[in-house]
Structure 1
Amino acid sequence: MGELVTTSTTSARPSAEKDSGLGSLEVLAVVLVLLVLARDQLAGLLSGPALQTWATVFVSVLVQAVPFLVFGVVLSAVIAVFVPRGFWAKALPSHPALAVPAAGVAGVILPGCECGSVPIAGSLIRRGVTPAAALAFLLAAPAINPIVLTATVIAFPGQPLMAVARGVASLVVAVSMGWLWLRLGRTEWIRLPHRPDLDDTSKARAFWAACRHDIMHAGGFLVLGAAAAATINVVIPAAWLQSLAGYPVLSVIALATLAVLLSICSEADAFVAASLSQFSLTSRLVFLVVGPMVDLKLISMQAGVFGRRFAWRFAPATFVAAILIGSAFGLVLL
């Protein structure tokens, strides 16, 4: 089949933690002790309204995302351990250009959000799926699955075309980005982190090893993304958005940017979009198309799973494509 990515099976570098006898559990214990000792000072700092808002947003992003991250990690481990390497060559069309839309449509079967799709896409590439197809799946799955589309119908009663426009526009963006990767993407831009060899151990041990690896790697970047989203929520005044609602072009750009900054789970973002009633339906559609594909936590996770060189190229290109395609479908259907 098309372009394949192979990952290096070189041995892991010796860990400095092993040499010093200090592991992640010991570091965590030290941090917890310090937090307990400084609890009075921290309580005083967190009493301010801004920091309370920051903590609320930070926790809410994690609470929304973690269940789907775990789901994606488990499914990724199942793909890595139990699915034969040759399965994907048979399941997807052999021609990469045809494999991209097939993988995008396959996103319908994943009942989760963008946090779960990142480790799954990484696992698909490890199992020989052409990166373009895996990336189309990564973008489509959080936006066109039945749970997200049903939530959109409920959030916009009497406006079923909003769910239709969201699903079709998101699929078009996902397939377009997959084809763009076929045209311009380079294999060296994707640097999957070293994962312990899973073929030389039992299925059960390999499964848990894959789960531990992915949850630690993707989970850490999820925390960084959630912290960035919480900071943005506190820093940006809501009045700024209100002043942009009356300008068609600026309102689209504003809500697209807001979708990136808020980092809301794709299964809940429709209700946020519905509450922004001062904005046009087209700008709110762009909000729904951009959010599941480009947000702070997702960019952070993509940098952790695929490498920074990939994230700094792929995220801006997806952002622009989502705005243009989402706006076009909004003007035609809404």
Structure 2
Amino acid sequence: MITRAASIPTVTTGARVPRTTSLHVFCVVLVVAVAARPLLAGAAAAPGLRTAATVFVAVCLQALPFLVGGVLLSGLIAAFVSPAALRRVLPRSPVAAVPVAAAAGLVLPGCECASVPVARRLIGQGVPDAAALAFLLAAPAVNPVVLVATAVAFPGEPRMVLARFLGSLATACAMGLLWQRAGRAEWIAGRARRPATAGPGGRWAVLAETARHDLVSAGGFLVLGALAAATLSVLVPPAWVEALAGRLLLAVVVMAVLAVALALCSEADAFVAASLTALPLLPRLVFLVVGPAVDVKLVALQAGAFGPAFAARFAPAAFVVAVLSACAAGWAVL
């Protein structure tokens, strides 16, 4: 009998399909940029584009050191702080844990870029969602660096420091309690709940891997947020600010929206608010309270860390709560 098995074609399963990586994309973009340099140089001469580029670089440079500090702190928490230790520090009741977590922002300086990876790591370590989110909002707004910057920016108005502190702390606590009552666990992406585990390299390997992962993840969204802030910054004429001086309610709304759009770092926004001398103190206070709670780069970072479903619900609620808390603190203190 003659067999025909030898005539059957064989299928090779070990071949590797080439995969496009970020390095390939970077190389292509670099080659295109070099080839189109004359065109880009002419376009960069436009005043609006130069302003947008300045804002983009400023936002990135302001936020990057604090983002790096935040991911390092996130890695330290993942590597050296056990879930049991965190549960011992915080009250067992999630409702009672919210103000304690918000008060922790007093001793952990950082901007909103740094607080996102830390809050994500706290959730991964078993801290209640409401407490971690209260810390996320409080840390960039009530830490000593921000309060000192506010005092320096408003040397003749010490009430602004107290009003900002009360408004920001009220925002953090209110959002934490609101999430505890109405939030759902499935709104936070599952990747945010995965705790870091020690591998062959031990705790230092966990620290390095956690910091690397969080920096790569958050850094990309920071760039997107800074790009959006730079684009929006050139669309707001300075004359519009002067026209709001006699319209308090409209000024509050506009300053709240500007805080979201400009995406300034919480350590620098007080100096921007102080420069708007044509406006009353209350709209400027709203600007200072809303900015660290919700802005375009922060929403992008939250979407990357906790998922789009979380950001789509948390950001609008934080905006409303921050505006109301700022107005209440302003009317009580200013």
User: TM-score higher than 0.5 here?
Assistant: yes
Contact 2:286 2:323 in 1 (8 A): yes
- Alignment match, 1:211: 211
Task: Using the TM superposition, give the Cα deviation of residue 110 of structure 1 relative to its aligned residue in structure 2, in angstroms.
Answer: 1.6
Alpha-carbon separation, structure 2, partners of 1:37 and 1:184 = 53
Aligned to 2:197: 198
Q: Does 2:230 correspond to 1:227?
A: no
Contact kept in structure 1, 2:105 and 2:143, CA below 8 Å: yes
2:247 pairs with 1:247: yes
- Aligned equivalent of 2:326: 326
**Secondary structure of the structure 2 residue equivalent to 1:157:** coil
Say which of 56, 59, 64 aligns to 2:57: 59
Taking the aligned partners of 1:152 and 1:271, their CA distance within structure 2 comes to 8
Amino acid at match of 1:85: P
Aligned to 1:237: 237
User: Residue type matched to 2:200 in 1?
Assistant: T
Q: Does 1:171 align with 2:169?
A: yes
Give 1:5-16 correspondences, 5 Å limit: none
Shift of 1:243: 1.9
Indicate if the aligned counterparts of 1:196 and 1:209 stay in contact, CA closer than 8 A: no
**Is residue 2:120 matched to residue 1:122?**
yes
TM-superposed deviation, 1:41: 1.4
2:100 corresponding residue in structure 1: 102
Looking at structure 2, the residues matched to 199 and 246 of structure 1 have their Cα atoms a distance apart, in angstroms, of: 59
Q: TM-score, normalization: structure 2? A: 0.92
Look up the match of 1:316.
Answer: 316
Contact 1:192 1:305 in 2 (8 A): no
- Return the alpha-carbon distance in structure 2 between the equivalents of residues 157 and 29 of structure 1: 50
Give the deviation of 1:191 after TM superposition: 0.4
Q: How far is 1:92 from its partner? A: 0.4
Q: Residues 125-169 of structure 1, C-alpha deviation per residue, up to 9 Å, x if partnerless?
A: 000000100000000000100010001011111211110110111
Taking a change above 3 Å as real, the CA distance of residues 261 and 107 of structure 1, as seen in their structure-2 partners, is same
Which one has the largest radius of gyration? 2
Residue 305 (1) aligns with residue 292 (2): no
1:211 deviates by: 1.4
The equivalent of 1:6 in structure 2 is none
Task: For residues 83-115 of structure 1, give each alpha carbon's deviation from its aligned partner in whole angstroms, at most 9, with x where no partner exists.
Answer: 112111101001101000000000111211110
Equivalent position of 2:9 in the other structure: none
User: CA, structure 1 residues 44+330, in 2 after alignment: closer, same or farther (shift >3 Å)?
Assistant: same
- Quick one: distance in 2 between partners of 1:53 and 1:192? 39
Distance in 2 between the 1:231 and 1:331 partners?
A: 33
Q: What secondary structure is seen at the aligned counterpart in 2 of 1:86? A: helix
Tell me, in whole angstroms, the C-alpha distance in 1 between the residues paired with 2:176 and 2:17.
Answer: 43
Given candidates 34, 37, 47, the residue that maps to 2:35 is 37
Secondary structure of the corresponding residue to residue 20 of structure 1: coil
Alignment of 1:177-192 (within 5 A): 177-192=175-190
Report the identity percentage: 55
Offset at residue 197 of structure 1 (A):
5.6
CA contact (8 A) 2:154 2:160 kept: yes
* Partners of 1:20 and 1:205 in 2: CA distance: 30
Q: CA RMSD in A?
A: 1.5
- Counterparts of 1:273-292 in structure 2, within 5 Å, are 273-292=273-292
Residues of 1 paired with 2:114 and 2:265: CA distance?
Answer: 11
- Rounded to whole Å, the distance in 2 between the matches of 1:128 and 1:235 is 43
Question: Following TM superposition, by how much is the alpha carbon of 1:49 offset from its aligned partner in structure 2, in angstroms?
Answer: 0.6
Query: What CA distance in whole angstroms lies between the structure 2 residues aligned with 1:49 and 1:145?
Result: 36
CA distance in structure 1 between the partners assigned to 2:207 and 2:140 by the alignment = 24
Instruction: Give the Å deviation of 1:287.
Output: 0.7
Q: Whole-Å Cα distance in 2 between the matches of residues 192 and 65 of structure 1?
A: 26
The answer on whether the counterparts of 1:136 and 1:178 sit within 8 Å (CA) in structure 2 is: yes
Q: CA deviation at 1:36?
A: 1.6
Separation in structure 2 between the aligned mates of residue 21 and residue 316 of structure 1, nearest angstrom: 39
Gaps of 5+ in 2: 1-15
Relative to structure 1, is the Cα distance of residues 289 and 155 closer, same or farther in structure 2, using a 3 angstrom cutoff?
Answer: same
**Whole-angstrom distance in 1 between the partners of 2:126 and 2:191:** 16
**CA separation of 1:95 and 1:70: change in aligned 2, threshold 3 A:** same
What is the number of residues matched between the two proteins?
A: 317
> Amino acid of the residue matched to residue 169 of structure 1?
G
CA distance in 1, matches of 2:108, 2:276: 28
Contact 2:290–2:323 (CA<8 Å) still a contact in 1? yes
